[in-house]
Copies of this chain bind each other. A is one copy, B any other.
Amino acid sequence: MNIGFIGTGVMGKGMIGQLLSKGYEVCIHTRTKSKAESLIEAGAEWCNNVADLAEKSDTIITIVGYPYDVKQVYFEENGLLDNVREGMHLIDMTTSTPSLAEEIAKAASEKGAEALDAPVSGGDIGAREGKLSIMVGGSEQAFATVKPIFEAMGTNIVYQGQAGAGQHTKMCNQIAIASNMLGVAEAVVYAEKSGLSPENVLKSISTGAAGSWSLSNLAPRMIGGDFAPGFYIKHFVKDLRIAIEEADRMGLELPGLKLSESIYERLVELGYEDNGTQAVYNFYK
């Protein structure tokens, strides 16, 4: 099975590396060819445009920046939906909107193709090590067909339902993280302000009912002043905006999500958009 891949950012690079290492032939296309050079050296084939990429592929994976970019890649003239053939599979792994996932699935099916939405969590390390969590929406049959491809990139692959369900699941993930990040940062600043050793506080609280991935992995970075991006604030804000729009559309009031989003918006205003999400700590300083 030949795979076409669009998007060679930090996530895409790791995922393509995994696909190549597991014997897949991977064609790639990206707006800036220089970004793809290390992958071409590693064995990926370069395509000059989307038509060329589609010609050489049975399945095309996209992982780009924002819903706007997804829309462009799929719907622009000479984009994916202009070049898709009957029986092909299109998989968008960008974190994007559920409604756009539904639109793509509908448009693909009109061409006799199948689209899946399959956003991931696990970050650049998960991508590089093939240990992503992949949340999949679309037809169950299409999922069964491309599952081996997911298994080349991830370890926790769950079919979540019809088109859009993968994106909705990713929103659940971001919603759970959003409020927890406030709790983690507030626990750290309280510890510091009350004169405790925050490292010792983590020893007491990390393994019990307050324990979380963020407390174990990001609180130590807050304490150490390490705000380098694991996950960019600018991308997190994008995700939280999507979650709020979707919640509003469903008539759901989610005050924790709203508060977290407003604080992360404020961090963008303060110039922290290229920091990791743990830089929320600076909101409290």
Contacts and interface: CB of A to CB of B under 8 A. Distances in A.
Contacts of A209: 121-123, 173, 177, 213-214, 217, 231
A172 B197 CA distance: 12
A207 interface: yes
Contact of A205 (B173, B186, B190, B284): B173
Interface stretch (A8-16, A33-41, A63-71, A155-163): A155-163
A284 B183 contact: no
Interface residues of A, number: 70
A263 interface: yes
B212 A211 contact: yes
B169 A204 contact: yes
27 contacts: A121-B210, A160-B204, A168-B191, A168-B194, A169-B205, A171-B190, A172-B190, A172-B205, A173-B204, A174-B210, A175-B187, A176-B184, A176-B187, A178-B183, A179-B256, A183-B257, A186-B256, A189-B252, A190-B252, A190-B254, A193-B247, A193-B252, A212-B213, A252-B284, A255-B259, A256-B256, A256-B260
Interface of A: 98, 121-123, 126, 133, 135, 156, 158-161, 165, 168-169, 171-180, 182-191, 193-197, 200-201, 203-205, 207-215, 217, 231, 243, 246-247, 250, 252-257, 259-260, 263, 284
